[in-house]
Structures are given as structure tokens and as C-alpha cells.
Amino acid sequence: MGKGNDMNAQDNTDGGSGAGNPESGTLLTPKGKEGSKSSDSGNSEGEGDGESGDGPAGAPEEYEAFSIPEGRDLNEEILGGFKDLAREMNLSQEDAQKFVDLGLQLTDGDPVEAVTKMQEEQWTEAREKWVEDLQKDPDFGGDNFEANVQSAQRTLRDYGSEELTEYLENTGLGDFPPLVRMFTEIGKALGESKSIGGDGANPPKSMAEAMFPSMVTD
């Protein structure tokens, strides 16, 4: 029925390029168009001879600076919380240093940076899965994938604001399947009305009519 034929000819955008890759934009907004110190307080239990009187080694009143490899930094806020916890656990300077060393090994850097990196990797994997699901979708994907993505891109470009485009790109939600499908269907509905509405009797639909046909009255 000529549904969307002239839409496919309008735009040669590579709809699938860089999909799911934060550095390449999203399906809807593709880019390319632009030394430790130990505390040893001395005497064995029960041997108080008056020289130290502190008993077994435990948490110091204030922990000294922990040893970290050159070029590495510790988040001061997290470090402060760790010191409080270490003091509650009665960890000596030496034992607390062991936990610091273990934390550095596990995170290979600042704990906050490590968590942020992990979240970014998980988000990237989720976006890649969204794109893969769309590509495999029997209706949206396959041979129809590029044309459907291009239709969605045109709709966003023609009717979406600059703020919306930037938001979808910066958050990665331009790969979110329900949004991509919605913009594709809107593009098809708008293109269909243009192809049959040239005589004035059936004027082209607005975006509101395409999105909410049952809510728009004459």
C-alpha cells in the first residue's frame, strides 16, 4: 500500500551504526554527524609490669596515614568511614592496613571509581541487549531493522526538541526498545497520512494525532 515508501528514500542514515555503544550515540541519536607502620603496644596479657600497661595491640586513638602505591589515591569520605569501622572492630594499624591493601587489590583503584565503572559497564551491556533484541524481533528487526530505525530517527529529528534528543543520547535511552518502536510507528503514521492527504480532504496528521488518535477530535 506504499506504506512508508517515500520515507525510506528520504534518509540514508545508517540506523544501526554504533548501536548500544555510548561513544557512537544511540539508535535514535546516532553520532558521527558530529610504607605501613605497625602498632605494637607490647606486653602479653596478664604481664602488666608498668612499662606499657596497654595490653594486646588494638585500635589506636587515631590511625596513621595508610600506605598506598604511588600514583593511587583513596576517597577521603570512604576512608573516614573505614577508619570508624576499623576502630569499632578494634583493628590495629597493621590489621587495618591489610584491609586497605585488600580493598585496593579488589577495586584496582578508588572504590567510588570502581563502582561507577561497573555501573557503566552494566548499562552498556543492557543497551547492547536492547539493540540485539530489536534486531532479532520478527516484526521490527531482520530486513526491516534499518528502515524502521531510520523512520524513528526522522520522527525524532522532525518533531523532537533539542533537549529531548540530548537527553536520549546522554542517558542511552535512545536504544530503549519501547521508545524506538514508538517513534517508528509515529513516523509510519505520519508518512502514511502525507502520502494520501494531498487533496486537502485528508490533511497530514499532526504528531498528537499519530500518537493518540482516539483522543484527538475534529
Model confidence pLDDT, tens digit, residues 12-49: 444 454 556 656 788 888 876 544 444 444 444 444 44
Residues 149, 205 within the same domain = yes
- Burial of 68-93, coded b for 16+ CB within 10 Å and e otherwise, reads eeeeeebeeeebeebbeebbeeebbb
Q: Are 25 and 13 in contact (CB under 8 A)?
A: no
Cell numbers 578508588: residue: 110
CA angle 66, 69, 72 (to 5 degrees): 95
Q: Are 146 and 19 in contact (CB under 8 A)?
A: no
- Burial of 173-182, coded b for 16+ CB within 10 Å and e otherwise, reads bbbbeebbbe
Residues 145, 104 within the same domain = no
Model confidence pLDDT, tens digit, residues 49-102: 434 444 456 899 999 999 888 877 888 888 899 999 999 999 999 999 998 888
Domain count, the chain: 2
The answer to whether residue 79 is domain-embedded is yes
Residues 158, 96 within the same domain = no
The answer to whether residue 52 is domain-embedded is no
Contacts of residue 150, Cβ cutoff 8 Å, sequence gap at least 6:
7, 8, 11, 13, 15
Residues 207, 123 within the same domain = yes
Tell me what pLDDT residue 29 has: 86
Mean pLDDT of the chain: 74
Residues 201, 157 within the same domain = yes
Q: Are 160 and 193 in contact (CB under 8 A)?
A: no
The answer to whether residue 183 is domain-embedded is yes
The answer to whether residue 65 is domain-embedded is yes
Q: CA-to-CA distance for 88 and 217, rounded, in angstroms?
A: 69
Q: CA-to-CA distance for 44 and 54, rounded, in angstroms?
A: 10
The answer to whether residue 38 is domain-embedded is no
Q: Which domain holds residue 127?
A: 119-211
Residues 174, 97 within the same domain = no
Residues 126, 101 within the same domain = no
Residues 124, 190 within the same domain = yes
Query: Does residue 158 surpass a pLDDT of 80?
Result: yes
Q: Are 69 and 54 in contact (CB under 8 A)?
A: no
Q: In this structure, how many other beta carbons lie within 10 angstroms of the beta carbon of residue 100? A: 18
Residues 160, 207 within the same domain = yes
Tell me what pLDDT residue 22 has: 59
Instruction: pLDDT band for 10, please (50, 70, 90 cuts).
Output: very low
Residues 100, 129 within the same domain = no
The answer to whether residue 68 is domain-embedded is yes
The answer to whether residue 63 is domain-embedded is yes
Tell me what pLDDT residue 116 has: 79
Query: Does residue 109 surpass a pLDDT of 70?
Result: no
